[in-house]
Chain A
Amino acid sequence: MPASHPRRPRTTLIVMVLLSFTVLTIGGKDVPVLGTVRSSIIDLTGPIGSGFRSATKPIRSWWGGVNDYDRVEAENRELREEVDRLTAKQSSNSTAAIDLARLQEQLNIAFVADIPFEMAQVATGPYSSFDNNTITIDKGASSGIAVDMPVVTSAGLVGNILSVTEKAAVVRLITDPEFSVSVRLVTSGVIGLGHGAGPENPFVIDERVPLDLAIEKGEKIVTSGLETTIFPKDIPVGTVDEVSPSQSALTQVLDLTMAADLVRLDYIRVLKWEPPE
């Protein structure tokens, strides 16, 4: 396809740019054909991602060690301390046993005991560094998963379902700045409003926490379960790491260390919970 006519490439570019704008315009309007194509591709990415995840597990472990040496070293220190405390427990090195242990861990979560749920596994991580507030899981509408359902691990809140296809679902993580949740301070019972602040940043509560309220570092924060929220009550969100007054000096701003480890997500639980009418 040689560029024989000097104006042809420019015409092609204009056509492609117009096409892009058309897709951008109709993409947000739930056009059935486009939605079906998108859902099919998302459904396909699940098995592809899972296959590659299994196949590359040893390489990823090695690469993680090479690429992130400082963090791995710090983690090793913490793990050595934990090993001292857990000497009674023996662990198997096999991947299957580790996976089973992780699965069992997610099956015994006290704070959501009577809520129906669906276990799922993370299929693929973020596709690019601009997508790191979402993950794709290997269960979808065929397993009863619907948009807005809460997602948790045994440690606490992970996020909620952003979109669903037949066999996969996209989870919006609590790090997403657009994610907000009504929370309760366990000690005082005060209700606040928190939101994500981007990956690797603390979760922030910056509304409705009165200035005169004494808050200790380490204070536990859980979901409030108010009628207007889409989350059931008492799911751990995190612990207070830093307290400061807001810029308007009308409330306190709390930076949280999140309860769930979002870096090493594997098995998660989707709660089939709907807010009361």
Chain B
Amino acid sequence: MTPIHIVLRWAFVVIVAFVLQIGLVTQIHVFGVVPDILVVLAVCAGLSGGAQRGAIVGFWIGLLFDMPRSHPLGLSALAYCLVAFVAGTAQVVILQSGRVMSMIIVATGSVLGVLLFAVEAQIFGQETLSNPHLVKILVVSVLVGAALSRPALRVAGWADGPETRSVAE
């Protein structure tokens, strides 16, 4: 696959995930919490394509997610880019490991992404860390990350193409 094919596939995946997040996922509250599937996709982008691609894809996913929201533009972009990069770095660790390890990393990455966003938003004057449901939000992030790790890794693997698809998938 040529780089332009990879870019087009990722653009398609990110747009579909974004539409699902704002249209469908916002309607489904898990224990009163709106799940974040975009952070899961960002982490899987890092796991599947490596740290470099993770940082790029994570940035664009986050930036797109920032657009319709009322907080400062760029908060999710920064959080998702960092967490996807870390996941991509962790890819080396799980190279010889199985599905359970990749599930754990996606779940951990998802909760870290959400927490990082909350810290950044708090710094920028939003009351996110003082949100009374913060713990519940983090727990749901872990559960959603674990539950969606397999399909999200498959989607990320498809977007990356067969040449760069990692063992994590």
Contacts and interface: CB of A to CB of B under 8 A. Distances in A.
Q: Do A and B come from one complex?
A: yes
Interface of A: 1-3, 8-9, 12-13, 16-17, 19-24, 27-28, 34, 37-38, 41-42, 45, 48-49, 51-53, 56, 59-60, 63-64, 67-68, 124-132, 134, 136, 162-163, 170, 172, 177, 198-201
Q: What 4 A-B pairs have minimum CB-CB distances, sorted nearest first?
A: A27-B73, A52-B23, A23-B74, A20-B78
B47 interface: no
B71 A200 contact: no
B126 A130 contact: yes
A17 B69 contact: no
Contact of A48 (B19, B67, B69): B19
B27 A13 contact: no
A129 B133 contact: yes
B34 A127 contact: yes
Given A28-B73, A124-B23, A200-B132, 4 more contacts: A1-B49, A16-B81, A129-B34, A131-B34
Contacts of B66: 23
Interface stretch (B51-59, B94-102, B104-112, B150-158): B51-59
14 contacts: A1-B3, A1-B6, A2-B163, A9-B85, A16-B55, A17-B78, A21-B78, A23-B74, A41-B67, A52-B26, A64-B29, A126-B26, A127-B26, A130-B71
B140 to A, nearest CB: 8
A128 B34 contact: yes
A1 B164 contact: yes
B132 A198 contact: yes
B88 interface: yes
B26 to A, nearest CB: 5
Interface string B59-78: 10011111111111111011
A127 B69 contact: yes
B82 A48 contact: no
B126 A12 contact: no
Nearest to A2: B164
B81 A20 contact: yes
A44 B130 CA distance: 31
A121 B128 CA distance: 27
A53 B78 CA distance: 30
Interface residues of B, number: 62
Nearest to B67: A41
B27 to A, nearest CB: 5
A125 B26 contact: yes
B77 A2 contact: no
A8 B137 CA distance: 34
Nearest to A14: B55
A24 B74 contact: yes
A129 B137 CA distance: 7
Contacts of A41: 64, 67-68
A138 B149 CA distance: 34
B52 A12 contact: yes
Contacts of A49: 22-23, 26
The residue among B27, B53, B68, B133 with the most chain A CB atoms within 10 A of its own CB is B68
A138 to B, nearest CB: 13
Interface string B120-136: 01001011101111000
A8 B88 CA distance: 13
Contacts of A68: 29, 32
A37 B6 contact: no
Contacts of B36: 128
Contacts of A131: 34, 69-71
A13 B83 CA distance: 11
Contacts of A17: 78, 81-82
Nearest to A172: B70
Contact of A16 (B30, B50, B59, B71): B59
A23 B63 contact: yes
A63 B73 CA distance: 32
Contacts of A201: 132
A82 B134 CA distance: 35
B113 to A, nearest CB: 11
B92 to A, nearest CB: 9
